[in-house]
Structure 1
């Protein structure tokens, strides 16, 4: 065996220095991977907008996560394997065959502590700052390893294809919208986001997934003006109505010929009364069709975000909703869409219709049958499905496959529904409460008595 002076020669120190340098590279690659994958692209964009060059580079290299991860893993494995090989050779030279086990133990501890846990802990504490710092060097690494990473990607996809797995390099596991919605829901569950803020933010995100049909006022609830009525009756109806705009029909309610705006009507009345030949009897000469605006019709399948853009572009607040056959289904206003984001908007002219949701002494919730499932879910933090019906009454009718009678009780989706009131074929009031058992199919209980 060599003496001590020959063991600690120049080769020993060069090898030790190389191992130390490789461990630094390993720590760099490990920390960079954690920082770049954990960083928020939104925060990086904010830093880039403030002039951070590192954040701009980080945004560019994280656009292709597959290439980024492949390059970082390739670099990390290269330096780890090389460091382990050099350490094994060094300890074997010092201790003989027994140095292999000791080299394995030493490298495991060094890599675990200084090349994995330590850099990743630092990176995860402030990933955006760390990403901006390492991004320039990682970009060089990606360019150097690009040919090898591309070959590995082709090989991996080929192997997956053999097992029937098809990959799409342009697909994202979660869309940006889903990531935002998930972050908001998580923030609410952790207490950092208030319920009202969560409802508003999620309401804005959901506009693209919802259609006009879901929130429109049904035609049975639309207040209309008969264009053939006397001018006095039309003026009286317009003044008594809580609405500024009223559809005008001729003959049948389906035949909408215009929209009467209260301000247009007031201007015309003012002209007749205070004009050059103004007199009170001139009200009888009022031609309502002369002031009626052209009705604006929209399909019931229009997404809410698109309809809001159309309202803003046309500088309109009111539209009539028709189905695929052109038949009138209802109406929608810009306020209806905004209420999906900010909640109910009321003013001094709105009629007090009472709360659509009340708690009874028995613990049930008295729910208006016309209340939408979405509003009930938002108010109570429930999760009733709204794919097949828009209103609570519609959900019960859909599940029961019948128009239930007053007093009937149904249990489905983990809730108990009791029909509290019915008018003709409409379920107007229900008692709802969470049930003990969760089920999918409707189970009907005959009415009492």
Structure 2
């Protein structure tokens, strides 16, 4: 009889381990991975997918199983171990009352230790580390247990939901599983640190979050650097400028950059072998003019919808602020895109041999903040050169501004425009 009871105690501990491991495995397992296995014909994955889609019911099944086995261990385990230990303590000649108390305490400790360590902690740790394999292995028996105990599970879930609604809360089924941007960023960081995603994948997704907060003004080519052609120029002059600059598209102005009449594509002019007998007006295509503070995502959607590669950005007074291209927008997601004609193009930031950083004056303040982990105020300006001028309006080459723990120094200026800024960490 005692052997049977010991066997039942072992079975109850194993059953507890089964329900605990099942609970943590089905919560931890990646749904996308299970869906992939299911699509490849894995029958066990089909069962796990069924459990995930009905997670509330199966978590209740696990909780019911753990409760039943815990009650069983409490009812059977302590008396069984106590019966084994009572004769041992009786040999020490202890009074019967004291012998019973000590035997009960030791029995309680042994059963609690076995229950917590073998029945809960160890299975939990293994299930978290091997969620996929554990869930595939235990899905079938868990489904059968759910079917057998369904009336009790339905009653318990219904009662719990009733009390939840009484306090004004939603049930699990009524809630939508959503994650905030902060939660997604945390998940992304954890996945990167655990090696589940590559550094490039991490950067792409992180840039997507930043992309949503950017405006067109932050990434535009400013008016002063826009290469244009004049509608009144001869075709020979225009062709020579194209050969020198090597851009694919050029805004066309009527004497002033505030009066942009359209855009031309270099390949059309060279394909038609244009000369002074041709006129630029025959090749001008319309170009949209968009307010500079438009969200970058909205600008991209508009350019995709209208099948255009360039947009003119205007300020609040209707003047031209600059231009934005599809390439400029995509670089905010995938990083710098350089073709064979970009060899002379300056990078927004380069590392010098002495370890300092040389920033292009057009580099956005947001990018500077992200790289150096700073919080430079940029409500009124968008570029690092503009920020320097807001800090020191009479800035000149050699001017230094301290932003703990860094020093910013103006390295190169052109008239009143700051072209290069050096940054290094203070000693």
Equivalence map 1:134-149=2 (5 Å): 134-138=138-142, 141=146, 145-149=153-157
Deviation at 1:26, TM superposition (A): 0.8
2:193 equivalent among 175, 178, 186: 186
- In the other structure, the counterpart of 2:420 is 429
Residue 41 in 1 paired to residue 10 in 2? no
Distance 1:155 1:349, change over 3 A: same
> What SS class does the counterpart of residue 254 from structure 1 fall into?
coil
Residue of structure 2 in register with 1:330 after alignment: 322
The answer for the alignment partner of 1:419 in structure 2 is 410
Instruction: Tell me which residue corresponds to 2:96.
Output: none
Q: What SS is found at the alignment partner of 1:371?
A: coil
Tell whether 2:311 aligns with 1:348: no
After superposition, where does 1:118-129 map in structure 2 within 5 Å? 118-129=122-133
Q: Alpha-carbon deviation of 1:57?
A: 4.5
CA contact (8 A) 2:16 2:119 kept: yes
The RMSD of aligned alpha carbons is: 3.8
Change (3 A) 1:346 1:127: same
**2:68 counterpart residue number:** 78
Match of residue 170 from structure 1: 176
Instruction: Summarize the Cα distance change of 1:98–1:356 in structure 2 as closer, same or farther, 3 Å threshold.
Output: closer
Q: SS state of the match for residue 246, structure 1?
A: strand
Structure 1 residues 110 and 374: alpha-carbon distance in aligned structure 2, compared to 1, 3 A threshold: same
Tell me how far apart the structure 2 counterparts of residues 372 and 49 of structure 1 sit (CA, whole Å): 45
Question: Does the 8 Å CA contact 2:192/2:198 hold for their aligned counterparts?
Answer: no
Is the alpha carbon distance of 1:184 and 1:158 closer, same or farther for their aligned partners in structure 2, counting shifts above 3 Å?
same
1:215 Cα deviation after fit: 1.7
Deviates more, 1:423-432 or 1:177-186: 177-186
- Which residue is equivalent to 2:222? 218
Distance 2:166 2:419 in 1: 60
Q: TM-score, normalised by structure 1?
A: 0.74
Aligned-residue offset at 1:79: 1.9
- Deviates further, 414-423 or 200-209: 200-209
Q: 1:47 to 1:171 in 2, by over 3 A?
A: closer
- Change beyond 3 A, Cα 1:363–1:262: closer
Q: Distance in 2 between matches of 1:322 and 1:59?
A: 52
Separation in structure 2 between the aligned mates of residue 35 and residue 324 of structure 1, nearest angstrom: 57
**369 and 53 in structure 1: CA distance in 2 versus 1, 3 angstrom threshold:** same
The equivalent position to 1:199 in structure 2, one of 200, 203, 213, is: 203
Residues 403, 425 of structure 1: 8 Å contact kept = no
Structure 2 unpaired stretches of 5+: 87-99
Mapped to 2, the partners of 1:266 and 1:405 lie a distance apart of 44
- Checking the alignment, whether the CA contact within 8 Å between 1:181 and 1:205 is kept in structure 2 is no
Query: Offset of 1:15 from its aligned partner?
Result: 4.3
1:31 is aligned to 21
Displacement after TM superposition at 1:102 (Å)? 2.8
What does the per-residue CA deviation read over 1:202-260, in whole Å, with 9 as the maximum and x for residues that have no partner? 33564334343322212222111221223332232233222110011224322222111
Aligned pair partner of 1:51 in 37, 41, 44? 41
Residues in 1 aligned to 2:38 and 2:394: alpha-carbon distance in whole angstroms: 59
2:104 to 91, 100, 104: 100
How does the TM-score come out when normalised to structure 2? 0.77
Bigger CA drift: 324-333 or 110-119?
324-333
Aligned residue runs from structure 1 range 228-243, under 5 A = 228-243=232-247
Partner of 2:280: 288
Equivalent-residue separation in structure 2 for 1:323 and 1:416 (angstroms)? 33
How far did residue 384 of structure 1 move? 3.3
Aligned residues: 402
* CA deviation vs aligned residue, 1:170-203 (integer Å, no higher than 9, x gap): 354555842553145425xx7x977556434533
Task: Indicate whether 1:317 and 2:315 are aligned.
Answer: no
- Map Cα deviations across residues 347-405 of structure 1 (whole Å, 9 max, x no partner): 33336144554555765323222123465578xx532347836433244445x375634
Quote how far apart the aligned CAs of 1:63 are.
Answer: 5.8
CA distance in 1, matches of 2:364, 2:191: 23
Shift, 1:69, TM fit: 4.7
